Amino acid sequence: MPRSLFFVVMLGLAIALMILAARHDEGTVTGISTYDFASLVWKIALLVVVGSTVLTVFRDRFSQAVQSAMVWVVIGLLLVVAFTYRFEARDVYDRVLAELVPGHGAVHGHTVEFARSRAGDFPVAAQVNGTRVAMILDTGASTVVLTNEAAKAAGLPLDMMKYDVGVDTANGHTVAASVMLDRVVIGNIVERSVPALIAQPGRLKTSLLGMSFLNRLPDWGVRGDKLVLRGSQ
């Protein structure tokens, strides 16, 4: 950078700093808040310093300096775009993950979407009393039904359970234990005090997401290859 131009820029920055100091209590400088004005001055000063340094280092290799500067400009713009659309990127990420990972829910506001598996059912990753439990949607089940292993992992007192509730399953008639789940979380949907049943050991392979949870939701349904659950908050 020519020395005369450098001094002109530095003089301009000095004047800007004096204006900032003089109008600090007024809150604005030429219609711009003092905070934004100070940020602008700082960025210009930083640009001058960086530009002077680059030109000094690459004085005999100006084209290389320009190419390097352009690369960093492009990287900076990409970072700005990524930051600006970070929420949309998260939405795309959730949708892709929901297709690739069985049971992963794509969260959109108050709704959670699940993709149909190759077997034709809808795997749902839930949390029961803070423990992750893999479930399958079963609209024929009047309640949530946990496998004995899932109930044990969730910290339910199995030793105190009485298996005295008759249940008809695809494998025939059996009995299960009635329980009240403190907290069931699916995506961003949280329901408390959810009635459920606990299957006897070896009677159920996968826990079932039944109507005792679904009936609490403002809306839910199967739309094409998507299970859509909508919570109230």
At residue 129 the predicted structure's pLDDT band, cuts being 50, 70 and 90, is very high
Give the least confident one: 2-6, 145-149, 160-164: 2-6
Highest mean pLDDT among 13-17, 68-72, 107-111, 186-190: 186-190
Is the pLDDT reported for residue 133 higher than 70? yes
Give the least confident one: 99-103, 146-150, 229-233: 99-103
Q: What percent of the chain has pLDDT over 90?
A: 33
Name the residue with tokens 């002077």.
52
Give the residue with greater pLDDT, 87 vs 103: 103
At residue 102 the predicted structure's pLDDT band, cuts being 50, 70 and 90, is low
Residue 40 CB contacts under 8 Å (≥ 6 apart), including other chains: 32
Determine whether 108 is exposed, middle or buried from the number of CB atoms within 10 Å of its CB (0-12, 13-18, 19+): middle
Helical pair 62-84 and 34-57, crossing angle rounded to 10 deg = 150
Measuring CA to CA, which residue among 220, 175, 182, 217 is closest to residue 200? 175
For 23-65, the pLDDT digits (tens) are 544 555 455 555 565 566 566 666 666 666 666 666 656 666 6
At residue 104 the predicted structure's pLDDT band, cuts being 50, 70 and 90, is confident
Give the residue with greater pLDDT, 104 vs 6: 104
At residue 151 the predicted structure's pLDDT band, cuts being 50, 70 and 90, is very high
Measuring CA to CA, which residue among 92, 145, 119 is closest to residue 225? 119
Evaluate if pTM is beyond 0.75. Answer: no
Angstrom CA distances, 76 to 46, 69, 89, 220, stand at: 15, 10, 18, 43
The predicted pLDDT at position 29 comes to: 47
The predicted pLDDT at position 1 comes to: 47
Give the residue with greater pLDDT, 38 vs 180: 180
The predicted pLDDT at position 145 comes to: 94
Mean pLDDT along residues 190-203: 92
Is the pLDDT reported for residue 127 higher than 70? yes
Domains of the chain, first to last: 3-84 (no CATH), 103-230 (2.40.70.10)
Residue 180 CB contacts under 8 Å (≥ 6 apart), including other chains: 193, 194, 195, 196
